[in-house]
Amino acid sequence: MGTKTASKSGTRKPERKSKFSTAVGEEALDFIKAIEDYKAAKERPFPSWTEVLQIVKAIGYRKVAEGKPVTEIGPE
């Protein structure tokens, strides 16, 4: 026979949060969907970096300013 582990008061332990954020913004979801759509259409598991750049441009991204070093990119 099993034992129940729920407390009698019905309260739960606070959930542990991962150190990694799982929240994905709308912009990221658009990008992910575009990649997934491309992979399905081309029947390829992984697009090349050139194809990724083409996908990014196809969904509307354009370079409008000088970039910054990728080492300066942080969480949003």
Tens of pLDDT, residues 10-67: 666 666 655 666 678 999 999 999 999 999 999 999 999 999 999 999 999 999 999 8
From the list 16, 20, 17, 18, the residue with the least C-alpha distance to 75 is: 20
**Which comes out higher in pLDDT, residue 47 or 73?**
47
pLDDT given for residue 70 in this prediction: 87
Q: Which residues of 20-50 are buried (b: 16+ CB within 10 A; e: fewer)?
A: eeeeeeeeeeebeebbeebeeeeeeeeeeee
Domain ranges of the chain: 26-62
Residue 3 has pLDDT above 60, yes or no: no
71 vs 16, more confident: 71
pTM exceeds 0.75: no
Q: Residue 75: what pLDDT?
A: 74
The per-residue pLDDT for 23 is 75
